[in-house]
């Protein structure tokens, strides 16, 4: 099996050369830090691309981690599978090809870590659908929530981004205003929302 850091380096170059989005260099430490802190056993990733963040998460997660990762593009999923197969994590990662919004509803069991990094206009929908799959102490990390600086503040944005900006604002409001989650918005890279679900004390049982 190949050295994971060497493989990640090769993937980064492939992403650059072929203009395939992978997590921003500046956003990466925040993701790595969150996974390291959580050491998850069961991970759901929405948006595989070529599997860069998938392997990054695998490297930082618990030794027994299982990852389900969802990707719409068959072509990207194939490239991701080829890379993942070269790693020691190959039997721990399952790629599901299709629309994440549909696939999530067919998943079962509990995930203790979710990485949302697919269609930005769908984040609130992903959140509502994954919520029943999140363990009591689960963590959700969402990438690109500050989308080029258009989401917070009142920087003017091109009309074509109207829906994306609206939905990302809605996502941030969802995870910030639900007392069940403690959310931190990191400005690193394209912005990450890190939401830790809290064990709510129940005194009326």
Q: Three-class SS of residue 181?
A: strand
Q: Three-class SS of residue 178?
A: coil
Neighbours of 37 (CB within 10 A): 12
142 scored as a contact of ligand SAH (CB under 6 A): no
Residue 99 binds: one of ligand SAH, Mg ion, none (C-beta under 5 to 8 A by kind):
ligand SAH
Binding segment toward Mg ion, per CB under 5 A, in 7-15, 74-82, 115-123, 154-162: 115-123
> Any bridge partners for residue 143, and if so which?
192
Distance in angstroms between the alpha carbons of the first and the last residue of the chain: 51
165 scored as a contact of ligand SAH (CB under 6 A): no
* Residues making up the chain, counted from first to last: 205
Sign, CA torsion 48/32/3/24:
positive
Would you say 142 or 165 has its CB closer to ligand SAH?
A: 142
Would you say 90 or 157 has its CB closer to Mg ion?
A: 157
Site string (119-138) toward ligand SAH, x via CB under 6 A: x-------------------
Neighbours of 18 (CB within 10 A): 10
Interactions with ligand SAH, residue window 47-106 (CB under 6 A): 47, 49, 52-53, 70-73, 76, 99-101
Nearest to 55 by CA among 110, 3, 108: 3
Q: Three-class SS of residue 18?
A: coil
Residue 144 binds: one of Mg ion, ligand SAH, none (C-beta under 5 to 8 A by kind):
Mg ion
Q: Which residues bind ligand SAH (CB under 6 A)?
A: 21-23, 47, 49, 52-53, 70-73, 76, 99-101, 117-119
Q: Which residues bind Mg ion (CB under 5 A)?
A: 117, 143-144
């Amino acid at each position: 099996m190949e050295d994971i850091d060497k493989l990640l380096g090769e993937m980064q170059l492939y992403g650059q050369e072929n203009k395939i989005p992978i997590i921003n260099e500046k956003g990466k430490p925040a993701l790595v830090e969150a996974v390291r802190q959580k050491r998850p056993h069961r991970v759901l990733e929405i948006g595989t691309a070529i599997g860069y963040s998938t392997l990054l998460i695998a490297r930082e997660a618990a030794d027994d981690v299982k990852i389900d990762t969802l990707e719409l593009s068959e072509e990207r999923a194939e490239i991701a599978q080829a890379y993942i197969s070269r790693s020691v994590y190959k039997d721990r990662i399952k790629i599901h090809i299709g629309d994440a919004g549909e696939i999530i509803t067919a998943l079962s069991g509990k995930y203790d870590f979710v990485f949302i990094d697919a269609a930005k206009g769908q984040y609130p929908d992903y959140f509502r659908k994954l919520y029943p799959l999140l363990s009591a102490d689960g963590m959700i990390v969402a990438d690109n929530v500050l989308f080029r600086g258009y989401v917070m503040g009142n920087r003017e944005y091109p009309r074509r981004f109207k829906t994306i900006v609206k939905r990302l604002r809605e996502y941030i409001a969802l995870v910030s205003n639900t007392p069940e989650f403690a959310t931190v918005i990191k400005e690193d890279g394209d912005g990450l929302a890190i939401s830790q679900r809290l064990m709510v004390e129940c005194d009326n049982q």
